[in-house]
A and B are shown apart, each in its own frame.
Chain A
Amino acid sequence: MAKPKLKAHRIARDWCKGCGICIEFCPKKVLELDTEAKAVAARPEDCIVCKLCELRCPDLAIEIETEREGANHE
């Protein structure tokens, strides 16, 4: 099975409350809070697709879209 490749961090800005859990526990420090206190992927190239941000988000605001999954949707 091929390693899933990151396509995009889909972050629902209107659902994100800026609690910082995704940022704190990202093993590669990919995410940051922007000036409006919403999570954004500041360094997506470092993402290893562990999906811990998606699994831990209390607001169900993060979805990690991968190349393989993306292909299935189309």
Chain B
Amino acid sequence: MAIKDYIRERFFPHMWCPGCGHGMVLNGLLRAIETLGMSKNEIVMVSGIGCSSRISGYVDFHTLHTIHGRALAFATGVKMSRPELNLIVPMGDGDALSIGGNHFIHACRRNIAMTAIVMNNRIYGMTGGQFSPLTGYGAMATTAPYRNIDHGFDIVQLAMAAGATYVARTTTYHVKQMTEILRDAIIHEGFSVVEIMSQCPTYFGRKNKIGDAPEMLEWFKNTTTPIGSKAKQEDPSLIERGVFVQKELPEYCSEYAKVVERAMKGRS
């Protein structure tokens, strides 16, 4: 299938700003799904609220556009009742880690098979550029006109500590890596977290004087490095990208099926 067969063309051109990284995540995700040769009926996309979460309207899978921060809770419900379906949960940084912070860590801890994609643009774009838990110390936002004094989360460290069994980070600049990581995350049997650093030229780029979309991509290229690279040893401020964790642990739905079996003691 061509990637256009996976979208709802009637809603295009999409509502994201010119140069928005979320469109690039959509592009990369569709290519990952195309490589896997999945049919539209075996995928459920569940999203919450925010610019990023509008992605579910554009894809022609089973889609649920739910409430702020609670996409993972809805997705858990879907997965528990239909474990054969593939759940993809794209979220923004604020949606996933501020409003939905608790859902996020507990979904990681349960190791339920689904793919959480954090489209991290470090700002609340839809509501006007307020700082998020990922904005980071010293950055500018509409609500931090004298610079932000909150320290940001490290999504990768958080997901690892909470027990996710697949954790990766990439950027919208590194599109081929993005597609490969998303492909592996989707087929991983457990809870996968993929942080994709995404650009918001309208708010984060403008407020922090990084520039337009191409300049922000250039910035991702220059401030990130593959895990364990020599460049990282020389400049510890570089952000590492790649696969941080990939391990097998008992998956929640299959464990639950065993509980049912134990409780039924062989009766049907």
Contact = CB atoms under 8 A, between A and B. Distances in A.
Interface of A: 14-15, 17-21, 23-25, 52, 55-61
A20 B176 contact: no
B217 interface: yes
Interface residues of B, number: 30
Contacts, number: 68
Contact of A55 (B17, B19, B27): B27
Contacts of A19: 18-19, 201, 212-214
Interface of B: 3-4, 7, 12-14, 16-24, 26-28, 30-31, 172, 175-176, 179, 201, 212-214, 217-218
A22 B214 CA distance: 9
Contacts of A52: 175
Contact of B19 (A14, A15, A21, A61): A21
Chain B binding surface SS class: helix
B35 to A, nearest CB: 12
A60 B27 contact: yes
A23 to B, nearest CB: 8
Contacts of A21: 19, 24, 213-214, 217
Contacts of A14: 13
Nearest to B218: A24
A20 B175 contact: no
23 contacts: A17-B18, A19-B18, A19-B214, A20-B212, A20-B213, A20-B214, A23-B214, A24-B214, A24-B217, A25-B217, A55-B28, A55-B179, A56-B172, A57-B23, A58-B20, A58-B22, A58-B23, A58-B27, A59-B23, A60-B12, A60-B23, A60-B30, A61-B13
Contacts of A15: 12-13
Contacts of A57: 23-24, 27
B214 A25 contact: yes
A15 B20 CA distance: 13
Given A55-B31, A58-B23, A18 B18 contact: yes
